[in-house]
Amino acid sequence: MALSNIRLEVMNTVEKSVQGFIDKYLIPVEEIWQPTDLLPNLQQEEGFEQVHQIREEAKELGYDFWVVLVADMVTEEALPTYESWLMDMEGVEQHGKSRGEQNSWAKWVRHWTGEENRHGDTLNKYLYLSGRVNMKEIEKTTQHLINDGFDIGTGRDPYRNFVYTSFQELATNISHKRVGQLAKKKGNKMLAKMCNIIAGDEMRHYMAYREFVKTIFEHDPSEMMLAFQDMMKKKIVMPAQFIRESGQGIAEAFENFSNAAQRLGVYTTHDYIDILKKLNAYWEIDKMRELSDDAEKARDYLMALPDRMTRIAERIAVPQDSHKFKWVEANGMV
Ligand SMILES: [Fe+2]
Ligand SMILES: [Fe+2]
């Protein structure tokens, strides 16, 4: 219990800085881009020409590409899972003390969710317009994924959750950016722009979450270190860990999606290791002193982990055969 009380104290202390983080890392509604800025405007005739352009350009993109884009979109669309999970963290209080007064952590979660919600919206509309995928199958996958929820190994602990979100925001930044680069290479300008702009949001979110962790390190270094170690020992799972196609059991589509992402080079084990290195560097793990004995061991474990993982990664081969997904077996697919 004592442990948990210190966490709560730290969360309450850092809460006073959260409005500043919101101002620094999030963008007000009136200023930020919206999905329609990047999509054809169907209130105008020329919007239909752009739809044709999207459909033409989409013909150049390969099978694995569509699988990865679909799964990335579905991952974004499972946002209700992430919002409710984060809202449930210790120290986040969604019921204001008085009318109009919000706990700043709850405000962060809401505003972060508001920004994230635009990602799934954008990609969903793009996929629909592309004509290359079976939307109904994708919609079923999204509904299944929301039903199935996730379990990222953090419990209600904010320290573990902020390690997870720091890691995962950078992972999504990398994967959206890479999908954008592949789209651009095939001359698909509109999609490339969408992916790049989404990747930009993910970068801001990453910068915010890593700052939360850095701030917690200042208040409670040993416990923060142990939480970081625990998350890396468990491995950072993907938010879409439970993804399935219609008719499948829970999580059955995940491995094939992950293999497609690795084959394309959109998100690989080496990216995972790079993210860990970046977090170690930003949080200056190697410089941490005055830790408990356990936390010192955790620090040394974390510093040694990237090299250890690299040795293992070199031995793993990614299967080369594409699994056939219902998502991309669309009517009229050539
Ligand atoms: Fe996102
Ligand atoms: Fe994100």
CA 95 – ligand 2 centroid, Å: 24
Q: Which residues contact 47 (CB under 8 A, 6 or more apart)?
A: 40, 41
Q: What is the pLDDT of residue 191?
A: 97
36 is catalytic: no
245 is catalytic: no
Burial class (CB in 10 A: 0-12, 13-18, 19+), 281: exposed
116 labelled binding-site residue: yes
Of 64, 72, 116, 271, the catalytic one is 116
172 is catalytic: yes
292: tokens are: 């408990």
DSSP 8-state class, residue 32? S
Q: What is the pLDDT of residue 322?
A: 81
CA 20 – ligand 1 centroid, Å: 22
Nearest ligand (C-alpha, residue 169):
2
Of 81, 165, 172, 268, the catalytic one is 172
270 labelled binding-site residue: no
How big is the CA angle at 156 (ends 155 and 158), to the nearest 5 degrees? 110
CA 161 – ligand 2 centroid, Å: 13
Q: Residues whose CB is under 5 A from ligand 2 (ion)?
A: 169, 172, 202, 205
Nearest ligand (C-alpha, residue 195):
1
169 labelled binding-site residue: yes
DSSP of 112-150: HHHHHHHHHHHHHHHHHHH--S-HHHHHHHHHHHHHH--
- Full-model pTM: 0.95
Q: What is the pLDDT of residue 329?
A: 73
pLDDT tens, the chain, 334 aa long: 455 689 999 999 999 999 999 999 999 999 999 999 999 999 999 999 999 999 999 998 999 999 999 999 999 999 999 999 999 999 999 997 766 678 999 999 999 999 999 999 999 999 999 999 999 999 999 999 999 999 999 999 999 999 999 999 999 999 999 999 999 999 999 999 999 999 999 999 999 999 999 999 999 999 999 999 999 999 999 999 999 999 999 999 999 999 999 999 999 999 999 999 999 999 999 999 999 999 999 999 999 999 999 999 888 888 888 889 999 975 444 4
CA 195 – ligand 2 centroid, Å: 12
DSSP 8-state class, residue 285? G
DSSP 8-state class, residue 39? S
Please check whether residue 134 is in contact with residue 204, taking contact to mean a CB–CB distance below 8 angstroms. no
270 is catalytic: no
Of 205, 211, 283, 327, the catalytic one is 205
31 labelled binding-site residue: no
Q: What is the pLDDT of residue 3?
A: 52
Residues shown for the chain = 334
H helices within the chain, ranges in order? 2-25, 35-38, 45-58, 63-77, 79-87, 104-130, 135-148, 158-185, 189-219, 221-234, 254-264, 269-282, 293-313
Please check whether residue 130 is in contact with residue 138, taking contact to mean a CB–CB distance below 8 angstroms. no
Q: What is the pLDDT of residue 4?
A: 65
282: tokens are: 């930003």
Please check whether residue 135 is in contact with residue 328, taking contact to mean a CB–CB distance below 8 angstroms. no
Q: What is the pLDDT of residue 284?
A: 98
| 3-state secondary structure at position 105 | helix
119 labelled binding-site residue: yes
Please check whether residue 285 is in contact with residue 299, taking contact to mean a CB–CB distance below 8 angstroms. yes
37 is catalytic: no
